[in-house]
Amino acid sequence: MALWFADDEQSRSTTLVELGTKKFTLQAAGKEALIQDVTPANHNTGAEVARYELESLPEKRTVYLKKGALYFLSSKKEALEKLQEKERMTSMKEKVLGLDTLE
């Protein structure tokens, strides 16, 4: 399904295209982005997804924890601690490089 409409003030045309479950807008007349995803979604980082997955597991469930190139059975608590340590190291690295001030 495609909907066409024109904006007279800026003399450009915009198309709303629906492909499957995703909706995109296509804009003409010198716009930077020709295709923009307008589907509302939560864009979470990998660490946020990993934390959510670990927290949703039962307490006595064992998980695989990567150490070097190998995976070892570990507890949920140890995996969460390792994830927090990794997040701390990432934030420290960003502070040292000055990346935390970028918008």
Render pLDDT for 29-38 as a digit per residue (tens, 0 to 9): 555 555 556 6
The band of 45, judged by pLDDT with boundaries at 50, 70 and 90, is: confident
Say what the pTM is.
Answer: 0.50
Give the type of residue at 17. V
Token readout for 57 is 């597991």
- Please give the class, per CATH, of domain 46-101: mainly alpha
List every span in the chain annotated with CATH 1.10.287.370.
46-101
Give the separation between CA 34 and CA 102, rounded to whole angstroms: 26
Give the separation between CA 75 and CA 28, rounded to whole angstroms: 54
What is the average per-residue pLDDT within 37-53?
75
